[in-house]
Amino acid sequence: MPNLSSTPTWESVVGITLAVLSGLFLGTSVVLRKRGLIEVASAGHDVVQGSTAYLKNAFWWSGMILQALGEICNFGAYAFCPTILVTPLGTFSIVFNSTLSHYMLHEVLTFVGKIGCLLCVLGVVMIVIHAPTDQETNTIPDLMQNVINPMFLSYSAFIVALIFWLKLYAEPRYAKKSPFVYIAMSSCGGSYLVLSAQGVGSSIVTSAKNWKTNNQFLQWPLYPLIAFMGMAVVYQIVYLNKALAASSSAVIYPISYVCFTGMTIISTCFLYRELPFESVDDGVSIIQGFLVIACGVTLLYTSSSENNRIVLENHNHGNHSNGAASPTKTKV
């Protein structure tokens, strides 16, 4: 991998800033979309079963607009910084999501949950400090040379088979019992969205710098790659919506982030056939940072699950005592 000093500082600053803004927009987006899905469900529509009533809900559309802005910022971040640097910054979206869920969706953020948020931030700082700042590829020919490598093609065939298994076998049996089915499907598609976005974004930056000498818009594979990126966006939105409709956003988003980050790093390793760090010390620190993030997410998940149990018990106790539902705030 190239030396760190070869990447201008301003590019790294722009990439990191865009990644943080992306986290803010995406974290808020999930809360607003969940609020819209709650309203749709209260009107008797089942999104998991295929209802599209959410298309008429203002909260859902506000969330989608913020998601679009978040994805644009994320796209820009990948254009300036490598995957291993940008992806962990998505942790900030968990912090924003958990905080806003507390106020807008009445999903209680306990002390344990707050510790989880702090661990997530600590983990991402550890990764960013030790992650390289150079892009893996800057041109379409370089990217396509990696795409057609037998190792990446074999990995991609495995991912396609996994998605079909999840869709045909796991979804009908387990999707309503466990959030991991839809999250796994979304994360598999999301990792390829990142790879395509990084390829398109870095090519645009290269073209802007060298319009006459190295214009990537003259490379025909760029256009199928853009189309693939669009399909990957739609795919990820569909299955993330299904996951949100079935479970609490405070549960879905942290788990989704860890799975998505893990799949993205794995996919990047297979695409470029190398580990995304320059030394053993950096690699150990990056792995430690990811484990700290995983611990933080686990605390958030545990805290949210315990709150769900307490609220449900209070709700049932109110029904048994008063013959009607108590006015306790219900977590969804």
Q: Is the pLDDT assigned to residue 6 strictly greater than 60? A: no
| Structural domain contains residue 14 | yes
Helices and strands (H and E) in the chain: how many: 12, 0
The token duo for 99 is 């905080």
User: What's the whole-number average pLDDT of the chain?
Assistant: 79
| Structural domain contains residue 330 | no
| Structural domain contains residue 312 | yes
| Structural domain contains residue 24 | yes
DSSP symbol at 54: G
Query: Does the model's pTM come out above 0.85?
Result: no
pLDDT per position as a tens digit, 154-177: 999 999 999 999 999 998 888 877
| Structural domain contains residue 328 | no
Q: Is the pLDDT assigned to residue 250 strictly greater than 70? A: no
Compute the distance between CA of residue 196 and CA of residue 244 in angstroms, rounded to an integer: 25
Instruction: Among 15-19, 44-48, 51-55, name the most confident range.
Output: 15-19
Q: What are phi and psi of 158, to 5 degrees?
A: -65, -45
Q: What is the model's pLDDT at position 227?
A: 93
Q: Is the pLDDT assigned to residue 326 strictly greater than 90? A: no
Q: What share of the chain is helix, strand, coil (3-state, %, to 5)?
A: 80, 0, 20
Structural domain range at position 252:
4-322
Are the C-beta atoms of residues 88 and 124 closer than 8 Å to each other? yes
Please tell me which residue, 49 or 4, carries the higher pLDDT value: 49
Expressed in angstroms, the distance from the first to the final Cα of the chain is 46
| Total number of domains in the chain | 1
What number is the average pLDDT over the span 221-245? 87
| Structural domain contains residue 277 | yes
| Structural domain contains residue 131 | yes
Q: In 3-state terms, what secondary structure has residue 182?
A: helix
| Structural domain contains residue 331 | no
